[in-house]
Amino acid sequence: RSIALPGEELKGVHQALNWLQTINAGKKRSLYALPVVVIGGGDTAIDCARVARRLGATVTVAYRGAETELGASCKEVLFAREEGVQFLFEHTPVECEGRQQVSAVRFDTPGGTVAIEAERVILALGQLPNPPEWLGHFGIRTDRHGRILVDEQGHTTHPQIWAGGDNTHGPALAVQAMAAGRTAAEGMANSLTLLQSVRR
């Protein structure tokens, strides 16, 4: 998800999933004592914050809503706090400041505009579905958000195609995607069993 934040093209500003992918690929670089601002309030934002903290950074998570509106699980937020991550609420990002390298992020807050020092900024603003065109060619319907429509067994509007995961229920935990995959597999198995019974 993009909010077209001015200054997001500056060096040191990263999209959350790309940044995590780089870290998971083994390209870890020390962030010792560097100020890092993570913008967002979901589990991905907390993942980024905790990883940056373990790489030595001073980490602040800035979220536009109230603490009660955080999308991240309470347990993950607690763990992040225990690791030294700071949280700011009701902070709406306005601009990443700097010349070539990011140096701060400016936020609108209930008390006015503030600038927070940052040598790394990680944008964790959530994900949106991006359904491929071929879905329409096969008559697979999506909702107005682009998520694939499925029944309780993961069956799409195509008689031979099932789906599951974030592309059906929206961003969630990996374990929920796995459960959706299992449900779809059971749906396929039931369909094949029924087909075999009819052929007999």
The identity of residue 21, as a single letter, is Q
Q: What is the mean pLDDT of residues 34-44?
A: 96
Nearest Cα to 57, choosing from 119, 2, 108, 15?
A: 119
56/119 Cα distance (integer angstroms):
13
Return the pLDDT at 140: 96
Residue 1 has pLDDT above 90, yes or no: no
4/82 Cα distance (integer angstroms):
32
The identity of residue 111, as a single letter, is G
The identity of residue 61, as a single letter, is V
Q: What is the mean pLDDT of residues 9-31?
A: 94
pTM, entire model: 0.77
Triad 32, 108, 90: Cα angle to 5°: 80
List pLDDT tens digits, range 100-145.
Answer: 999 999 999 999 999 999 999 999 997 778 899 999 999 999 998 8
